[in-house]
Amino acid sequence: MKAKLNIMKKKFAEILKDESAQGATEYILLIVVILGIMSFFGPEIKGMVSDKMGDVKAQFQGFTNQ
């Protein structure tokens, strides 16, 4: 009976030490966080990039017209 208990303790300790799925879980959580940030700030970021691209386009047109 003691031998079986020791085997069960060892198996349980091995299961707790097993970190093979930890990396995948971390990547999934990072993706979820990034998608959440993108969905929350996406319209603002899109507007800022669009404004800057308009500024660059105007400066480029001014440069080529001179």
For residues 2 and 19, which has the higher predicted lDDT (pLDDT)? 2
- Mean pLDDT rounded to a whole number for the chain: 84
Total domains, the chain: 1
Residues 44-53 pLDDT 10s: 989 999 999 9
Residue 33, domain extent: 1-65
What is the token pair recorded at 29?
A: 């959580």
CA triplet 33, 34, 37: central angle to 5 degrees? Answer: 85
The residue whose two tokens read 């990039």 is: 49
pLDDT, position 32: 95
